[in-house]
Structures are given as C-alpha cells and as structure tokens.
Structure 1
Amino acid sequence: MMRAGAHPGMAGRWGKWVGLIRDRRGIAAVEFALIVPILLIMYFITMEASQAIETSKKVSRIGSMVADLVTQQPTIVKADLDAIMKIGTSTLQPYNRSTPDITITAIQFTTDTPPRVNVVWSRKVVNGVYSIGTALPATTTVPATLRVAGTFLIRVESKLGYKPIITWSADSSQTAGLTTVFNNISMGETYYLRPRRSLTIPCGDC
C-alpha cells in the first residue's frame, strides 16, 4: 500500500539511498580492516627503531664509562675489573634480551723505534662469564695517532648482539622467516684512555 499523495518513485529512490549508505559503511569497514595492520606495523617499526638507537648509544657509553673508571685507578685487581664490567653491563637496562661482551686491555708502548705495542694484561666478560681476555705474552694494534713510545693505554671494547623485540622470545626458541634477517644486530664501540693518576695501571692478579 502507498500513502495518499506519495509519489510512486519515492519509495524506490529511498531504498536506493539506504542501500548506498549500507554499502559505504561496508566499504569503510573493509578499509579499516586493511589499514589497521599497516598502522600497527608502522608503530612497531618506529618503536623498535627508537629502542635500537637508544641501545646503541648505551653500548657506546659502556666503553667510555668502563674506560673512565679503570683509568682512575693507580692499581687494580681482577675483582675490581669484574665489578666495573658488571656496572657497565647494567647500563643497558631495561634492555635485557641479550648481554654485552666487554674486553679491557692494558697496553704498553716500548721505547723502541718504532715502538712495539705489548699487552700488559687483559680481562673480558662474554655471555656473563669473566675470564682472561688475551693470553700473554701478546702484542696488539692501535690507531697510528696513539702510538707514542713509552706510554700506557687502556682499551675497552664493548659489543652487543641486539635482538629486536619481534625476533625475541623468553624461552630463546628459534625464530624463523623474515625475522631472522633482523636477529642479532651487531653493535659495538672501542675506547682508548690514558691513566689519570699514574703512568701505568698494574693488575696485581691478572
């Protein structure tokens, strides 16, 4: 039945408008479903990139901080070196998906021409295990600008295999697929400092 005075085509046009509105709502729902995953991916990539940059800065600070603490000591022992490296490791917090490797090396330049670069003592922590860094006797290399005969240097090397959150699991299970490409990103820094309070820094039990 039609209402009195109603135009015969009004009902048909009204039905078309209702159908069009419903179609637009359906299109909006489909667009939302397609866009949300892209937005989430962009969010996680941005978050991961910012955390990786901050962690890389912390890895650099490990080297500078450890070298600064060691070069303030007139003498040192293994327990002190291990404690200093432990402090350096803690600077990465709250990042804890992997642990840094730190190597402290004491270097003595001889008075020869050209001077030899001898390792006096060395200490390292790798995967949380503390040990001798380099078996003695040993020589090493340093940048040419630091090769001054008769001087003493402390070198600190800090390295980290950064694990993005998308590739890490608490039970260390094997990752697969494209995430393995970004797993274990290498970060590292090397610092050289001279002793602050003495000409050399002997280690009593290294």
Structure 2
Amino acid sequence: MAMKMGDIRRPALSMFRAFKRLLEDRRGVGAVEFAMIAPIMFIMYFVTIEASQAITTNKKVGRIASMVADLVTQQQDTVTAVEADAIMQIGQSIIQPYSRSQPTISITAIEITPANPASQVRVAWSRRQAGSGTGCPPLPALPQAGSPATVPTALNIPGTFLIRVETDLCYKPMIFWNDSQENALGFAAAFNDFPMHETYYNRPRMGTTIVCTGC
C-alpha cells in the first residue's frame, strides 16, 4: 500500500514541534543554574572564612611576641625559668580560639657590650616553649649563652640590653585539617601548612639588664 506524503510529514512535524516545546520550556532552569553556580559560591564562602581566620591568627602571632616581650621586660633585674615559662604559657593562650596547632615562643636576652675596644653582640640567656604542629620547616636551634647574636642596626647600641621574642606557628587551614592530625596528601598537602613568624624587641623597663636564673 502506497504511503502518502502527508503521512511522512506528520511524524517529522510532530518531532519538530516536540523539540521546539522542549527548547521553549523554562521549567527547572533555576535549578540547573543553581547547580552550576552553587559549587563556586560555596568555594568562595569557605575561602573567605579561611582567609579571615588566617589573617586574625597571624595578628595574634604578632600580639604574642609583643606581649611576652612586654611582660619579661617589666620584671626587675631577675626572672626565673619558671616565671619565663609561665609568661610564655600565657602567650600561647592568646592564639585561642584557633587550636589546630600551638605556637612556639622563643625568648633571647641579648647583651651589647660597651665599645671598649669593640662592641660585641652576644646572647646572655635564652628560653623556648615548643608548640605543636608538624609540616612546616623546622626551627633553628635556640642560641646558647655566650654565642654571637644579630640585631637590627637601629638597635645595635653599645652598652644596652635587649629582649627578643620570636613566635612561630605552623598554621593549618580548617578546610584541609583533620582531627587525627594525619599528614594531608595530594592537592591538600600543598595548602596544609603555612608558617607564620613574628619577631619583637624590647628593652628592660626596671633596670639595665635582666638575668634569668635556671635558664
């Protein structure tokens, strides 16, 4: 039986009309657009939170150094090792509410001898309270009493005494941190640890030098 031309065109026309209705149908467009944009929005949200917390924590690292130096230089001519440790413990508490790692605080007393015949910059005593957190470059050894030291040119005044406080923190971003403290692998490892460092100098308030007994 011969098929008429109209019979051939009807299915094609029906398919064309169905395809046209599909293109003109706007139902669900909002859901599709949200599915495409939502991941970017969530990433931006978490990155903003992380950046804000990192900036706040970095400011606290500097605050620890200045506060510890201020408390040490307010002592009389002598400070004990126990008192120095207690001051550093107070400094470590400043980092809260961040708790994914703890800062390392180093106190170095530096004596700049009078210029007779030549001024020398040397370590009088030192003390360190180690924090927690691995993944950042290891810190150099704490300088021992009598070893040479370096200070900024503006502070290199013969016959003076300085207290130098260094604060180091291995910052761990919240996004890539896990409670088991296991090292991150792959892509996360590149953003898992950020070293933060601050150095602060101060002079004795109550005298010319500060001696640490037991350090």
TM-score range, shorter chain: 0.7 to 0.9
What percent identity do the matched residue pairs reach? 52
Equivalent residue, structure 1, for 2:174: 165
TM-score by length of 1: 0.85
Structure 1 residue runs of 4 or more that deviate by more than 6 Å after TM superposition: none
SS in 2 for 1:59: helix
Residue by residue over 1:56-93, the C-alpha shift from the partner in whole angstroms, topping out at 9 and shown as x without a partner, is: 00000000000000000011010011110010000000
Equivalent residue, structure 2, for 1:192: 201
Equivalent residue, structure 2, for 1:202: 211
- Alpha-carbon offset, residue 118 of structure 1: 1.1
Which stretches in structure 2 are left out of the alignment for 5+ residues? 1-13, 133-140
SS in 2 for 1:166: coil
Residues 174, 25 of structure 1: alpha-carbon distance in 2 compared, 3 angstrom cutoff? farther
Is 1:127 equivalent to 2:131 in the alignment? yes
TM-score by length of 2: 0.82
Contact 1:118–1:139 at 8 Å: present in 2 too?
yes
Equivalent residue, structure 2, for 1:110: 113
Query: How many equivalent residue pairs?
Result: 190
- Alpha-carbon offset, residue 134 of structure 1: 2.6
Is 1:41 equivalent to 2:43 in the alignment? yes
Equivalent residue, structure 1, for 2:10: none
Equivalent residue, structure 2, for 1:57: 59
Contact 1:123–1:134 at 8 Å: present in 2 too?
no
- Alpha-carbon offset, residue 111 of structure 1: 1.2
SS in 2 for 1:167: coil
Instruction: Let me know the Cα RMSD of the aligned residues.
Output: 2.2
Which stretches in structure 1 are left out of the alignment for 5+ residues? 1-11
